[in-house]
Amino acid sequence: MKIAAILLAAGQGNRFGAEAPKQFVALLGQPVLRHAAAALARHATLIQPVGEAAPIAAALAGIAHLPPVAGGAERQDSVRAGLEALAPHAPDLVLVHDGARPCLAPDLIPALLAALADAPGAIPAVPVADTLKRGEAGRIAATVPRAGLFRAQTPQAFHFPLLLALHRAADARGAGGATDDAALLEQAGHPVLLVPGSEDNIKLTYPADLPRLERAMSATHLPRIGTGFDVHVFAADRKLILCGIEVPYEQGLAGHSDADVGIHALCDAIYGALAEGDIGRHFPPSEASWKDADSARFLVHAAGRIAARGGVLANADVTLICERPKITPHAPAMIARLSALLGVDAGRVSVKATTTERLGFTGRGEGIAAQAAVCLLLPA
């Protein structure tokens, strides 16, 4: 069964009050949208983002997704654009999710998909617990009975052909303004099941929501530590690439790829924290395709594995070990490059250097070694 997901990221988030739309605001070191996409990626074979292409591509680097499509004037228009983009892929089921909802319980999407065996639609919802008042001119006009009332959340799950047909029909008759997709099924007389939602499935709307999300997501993640170590010998007639940048020097490093000893150690630290082997397992040196390859590709893959597991990088620390060249002048550029490849703030990445006081392999100036440590936060 083919499962697709529409990731809505076209809103401007004016109530949030930030310079960038709220779905691109940093949460635990990564864009809110990236957290939402990572949750969908564990269940959907196709992810169709809707919104501005450039910021979406930057936020989702390393997470497989279809090319973004532009959103519409209203939410209903944006969902229809996503459905039409998915139509050639003919998925069986589709999830529609707000890109500003990053905190999904691990069992939510499986519960929604299971519910589609009994109905054409299912949504997560939370019973209304507070007393409801209807107000007029700043005064209470009436108390609204809360019995049977629920707060709808996303992702919402549907049989794809039906949802596409209902959106097309609504567009043909000029009916817009649906604030969620379940409303279209309700209007057409199709049953929609309620699946228990969560108070932590917060839609980022106001600045006060951000610390609430940070607390909720931190509480559901456990730290995982990984370390990495790598060594490369100097070689003539090669560029010296360290931590993703070219460092002016008389020699480069020998290796099957570009021999970026810093990135290799960092990748091993990430794969180790994920318990997914080492860099050689993912990029075997026996394969000709990795000959002289840019090691940045390896780090992007490692970052993608963090996202695919629903995790975040808390911090990374790389130590380069050599007598020459001097690393400190280049450390800021290295940090900027690594943080960009990892999709995190530069403040979460450290690059420093040390020597072995002229002892051993590196002390004799025969090559460079590197060690790295990372802390990941992965779902419990």
- Residue-by-residue pLDDT tens, the chain, 380 positions: 999 999 999 876 555 555 678 899 988 878 999 999 999 999 999 999 999 999 999 999 888 999 999 999 899 999 999 999 999 999 999 999 999 999 999 899 999 999 999 999 999 999 999 999 999 999 999 999 999 999 999 999 999 999 999 999 999 988 877 889 999 999 999 999 999 999 999 999 999 999 999 888 877 788 999 999 999 999 988 999 999 999 999 999 998 889 999 999 999 999 999 999 999 898 888 777 777 789 999 999 999 888 888 788 999 999 999 999 999 999 999 999 999 999 888 999 999 999 999 999 999 999 999 999 999 988 87
Measured distance CA(207)–CA(244) in Å, rounded: 35
Report how far residue 245's alpha carbon sits from residue 227's, in angstroms, rounded to the nearest whole number: 22
Q: DSSP letter at 376?
A: E
Q: How far apart are CA 300 and CA 184, in angstroms?
A: 40
Q: What angle do CA 290, 294, 296 make, to 5 degrees?
A: 120
The one-letter code for the residue type at 44 is A
| pTM assigned to the model | 0.69
Distance CA 163, CA 171 (A): 12
Question: 79-84: long-range contacts (C-beta < 8 A, 24 or more apart)?
Answer: 79/6, 79/8, 79/50, 79/167, 79/181, 80/167, 80/168, 80/171, 81/50, 82/6, 82/7, 82/8, 82/48, 82/50, 83/6, 83/160, 83/163, 83/164, 83/167, 84/164
Domains of the chain: 3-216 (3.90.550.10), 221-379 (3.30.1330.50)
- DSSP letter, residue 243: T
SS3 content of the chain, % helix, strand, coil (to 5): 35, 25, 40
